[in-house]
Amino acid sequence: MITFWLVLTLAALFWYGSVTLYVSVKGAADIREMLARLRNRDRKG
Amino acid sequence: MLTTLSQPSGTHFHWLFDGGIVGFYLLVTMAAGIAMRRYVGKLEDYLVAGREMNLHLGIASLAATEFGIITCMYTAQAGYTQGFSGAIPGICQAVAMALIGWTGFCIKPLRQAGAMTLPEMFETRFGRKVRWLSGMVIVMGGLLNMGVFLQIGGKFLCTVAGFDLSNLTLIMTALLLMVVIYTVLGGMLSVLVTDFLQFVVMSAGLLVVSVLILKNIGWDTLVETVRKHHGEGGFSPLANPSLGWAFLANQFIANAAAALTWQAVIVRILSAKDSDTSQRIYTRTSFFFVCRFLLPGIWGIAALATLGWAPLKQLTQEERLAIPVMVQEKIAASPVGAPMIQLTAEETSALALETQAKLSDASLLAMPEFLSSFLPIGLMGLLIAAMLAADMSTNSSYMLSWGSVIYNDILAPFRRTAWSDQRAILWNRCIVALIGLYLLIFGLFYHIEGNVWSYLLLTGSIYLSSMSVLLIACCYWKRANNWGAIGAILLGAAVPVAHLTLEKLPATAAFAASVGKDLAGIAAFVGAALGMVVGSLVKPHPKSS
């Protein structure tokens, strides 16, 4: 059971670190895209 | 003199370095949140970000919302009082989220229905009365649940930064004001953008502190601490007499229900640009729920390894001297997290209320006390910025979520004609501001007894059981009708309320304890399902023309 918790802890640190880096880059692009779509919609409206 | 000014006693918090980091984070967040105001044109923009949210922003937003200071505190408390077994609810939640995201169970039809809230979807199958009633149940459970967030957040910040707890009101008010300003102005758009910033800061803090604990305290020390204080039950919930199979089953069912119906979570499904995106947000965020319980749980275990279990240390010299020596010995020898469990009813009632409250808080405040002296200057600023980020993202999203149900569903019968977007947005802004005021008042006057996670599960179970049954029936059972829906709501709420009443009455307290919170939680779901089936089948069929 101790091995299970050790593996899970290391997996959590690795996964969380990777996702944070990936989402930091991709999420910023998502925000720019979302705001651009809202701006375009308002112009058309 | 400069040292005393720049560094509160007993903590490594430094006003210049750490305060500068926190100030910079707050400035950027507030500016980004307020800037979103100009994009709010329609009610849909304010409540569901114009349904323009993409995958990665959804992941960041869901993770930031579902991790607040309250989360960090109760998961660390679970690690402190139950060892690694305290992280089991996180594993249950991750499995539930992954399964729901993978299959699209309920969330696919929910997004395709295009509703802005859960009760709005219920109206299509169960009618207006059920929409209004379910809105009331959701708001009642949600606001009771959220009521303790601000107080717990304030206590954490006071303890970590070394401030006296008499500053709690000031810190709570300042924290709330900042969140209310940008949430009122920008709605879901502000929530999403600030959630993204807060996710980055919060994750950096969580990761750095966790790695530092593993490096400086060491895995072997953590394992030995759990073994010494909790035995085998600290590693396996099945070996822990207070957990067991009923605990596992209740955690899985309750967490699956929360993933399906918790308004602050499903607002990400409703804001996603399509149902495929909403499913992917669930599958890709699922493992975060393991991290959310396990990493702060390790902080709690580290606090136990460093500080030990010494609840009497929470008291002042005068408070300690007022307790008879025999009672002090019983408290000192109590199991971790239950300082008054060995006292008789007379001994407990002889303790001052303030003393009882401080003893109850011993396991909750162990982690921030440990961190206040463990982290060096600079990292202390990162931790406080991370926790502020975690708390602000949670509070803003929750205020908007419950506010949207109040406007969209509870006030719906009072809107005779269609309202303009401007009028609707103004009403929503007022509702969010009023929820903020409620939070402040509730936080100032209410004190939690016992385990925080149990309080959150109990207040949540009032609505999770009935609302999840309603949603499943609404999506997949053609015979479901309004009689069944009302039966499910009544029975789903009756079971936890009945159990709570039995717990409080001296004559039935022993029976309630023998049933336990977990079996009562499962019974609430069974009761709600029975209410739905029986109510729907009993209602006479309308004769076909």
Nearest-Cα residue of chain B relative to residue A6: B219
> Tokens 């809230």 map to which residue?
B117
Task: Using an 8 Å CB-CB cutoff, list chain B residues near A26.
Answer: 55-56
Q: What is the pLDDT of residue B453?
A: 60
Task: Using an 8 Å CB-CB cutoff, list chain A residues near B87.
Answer: 5, 8
Residue B426 lies in a domain: yes
Q: Chain B residues with CB-CB distance to A under 8 A? A: 39, 41, 45, 49-50, 52-57, 59-60, 84, 87, 189, 192-193, 196, 199-200, 203-204, 206-207, 210-211, 214, 219, 223, 232, 235-236, 287-288, 290-291, 294-295, 298
Instruction: Report which of B20, B11, B29 is spatially closest to residue B381, judged by C-alpha positions.
Output: B20
Amino acid at B426: L
Q: What is the pLDDT of residue B421?
A: 82
Q: What is the pLDDT of residue B17?
A: 62
Q: What is the pLDDT of residue B6?
A: 43
Residue B386 lies in a domain: yes
Q: What is the pLDDT of residues B200-211, one digit of tens each?
A: 888 998 899 999
Judge: B53–A39 Cβ closer than 8 Å, yes or no. Answer: no
Residue B407 lies in a domain: yes
Token pair in block for residue B499:
């159990």
Residue B272, helix vs strand vs coil: strand
Residue B6 lies in a domain: no
Task: Using an 8 Å CB-CB cutoff, list chain B residues near A5.
Answer: 84, 87, 235
Judge: B56–A29 Cβ closer than 8 Å, yes or no. Answer: yes
Residue B258 lies in a domain: yes
- 10-residue stretch averages of pLDDT, chain B, 545 residues long: 41 64 78 81 79 82 85 89 92 92 90 86 87 88 81 79 71 81 86 86 89 91 90 88 84 91 83 85 90 93 91 81 87 86 82 81 85 80 81 84 88 77 86 88 67 68 87 90 92 83 78 81 92 91 56
Residue B53, helix vs strand vs coil: strand
Beta-carbon neighbour count of residue B143 at 10 Å? 18
Q: What is the pLDDT of residues A5-36, one digit of tens each?
A: 999 999 999 888 998 888 888 899 988 778 88
Closest to B211 (Cβ–Cβ): which among A13, A41, A45?
A13
For every residue of B68-110, DSSP letters joined together read: -HHHHHHHHHHHHHHGGGGGHHHHHHHHHHHHHHHHTTTHHHH
CATH of the domain at B311: 1.20.1730.10
Cβ burial of B514 (10 Å; 0-12, 13-18, 19+) is exposed
Q: Structurally, how many domains does chain B consist of? A: 1
Q: Tell me, what DSSP letter sits at residue B478?
A: T
Residue B493 lies in a domain: yes
> Tokens 């229905």 map to which residue?
B113
Q: Which residues partner with B53 through β-bridges?
A: B272
Amino acid at B190: S
What is the enclosing helix (H) or strand (E) of B419? none
Q: What is the pLDDT of residue B4?
A: 36
Judge: A27–B57 Cβ closer than 8 Å, yes or no. Answer: yes
Nearest-Cα residue of chain A relative to residue B192: A31
Q: What is the pLDDT of residues B391-433, one digit of tens each?
A: 888 888 888 888 989 988 888 877 767 778 877 888 888 999 9
Closest to A23 (Cβ–Cβ): which among B60, B204, B236?
B60
Residue B2 lies in a domain: no
Chain CA centroid to CA B69, Å? 9
Q: What is the pLDDT of residue B7?
A: 41
Contact between B67 and B218 under an 8 Å Cβ cutoff? The reply is: no
- What's the rounded Cα separation, in Å, for the pair B146 and B153? 11
Instruction: Give which of A6, A16, A39 to mutate to test B binding, by max B Cβ within 10 Å.
Output: A16
CA distance to partner chain B, nearest, from residue A19 (Å) = 9
Residue B144, helix vs strand vs coil: helix
C-alpha dihedral sign at B410, B416, B417, B423? negative
Q: What is the pLDDT of residue B249?
A: 92
Contact between B172 and B378 under an 8 Å Cβ cutoff? The reply is: no
Judge: B54–A13 Cβ closer than 8 Å, yes or no. Answer: no
Domain span at residue B49 reads 15-538
Residue B125 lies in a domain: yes
